[in-house]
């Protein structure tokens, strides 16, 4: 039997939502062991003074399995 835990992380990118998700998963793997998946809970953008998108943001719930 295995037991999993879920933690929320927020990640940003200047390129895209996909890049923000990848950056978040990459960073989570540096700290957490046994990352098994993530659910993107929220997506948002920030806009600059010119009205164009300046940053993509995602709030994710990352699932990882606890070790024995």
Nearest Cα neighbor of 42 from 6, 10, 68, 2 is: 10
pTM of the model: 0.88
Phi-psi region of 4 (alpha: psi -120 to 50; beta: other; left: phi over 0): beta
Helix (H) or strand (E) holding 1: none
CA distance 66 to 30: 15
Query: pLDDT tens digits, residue range 10-68?
Result: 999 999 999 999 999 999 999 999 999 999 999 999 999 999 999 999 999 999 999 87
């Amino acid at each position: 039997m295995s037991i999993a835990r879920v933690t929320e992380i927020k990640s940003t990118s200047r390129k895209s939502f996909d890049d923000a998700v990848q950056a978040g998963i990459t960073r989570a793997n540096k700290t957490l062991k046994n990352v098994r998946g993530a659910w993107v809970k929220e997506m948002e953008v920030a806009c600059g003074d010119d009205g164009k998108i300046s940053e993509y943001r995602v709030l994710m719930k990352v699932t990882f399995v606890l070790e024995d």
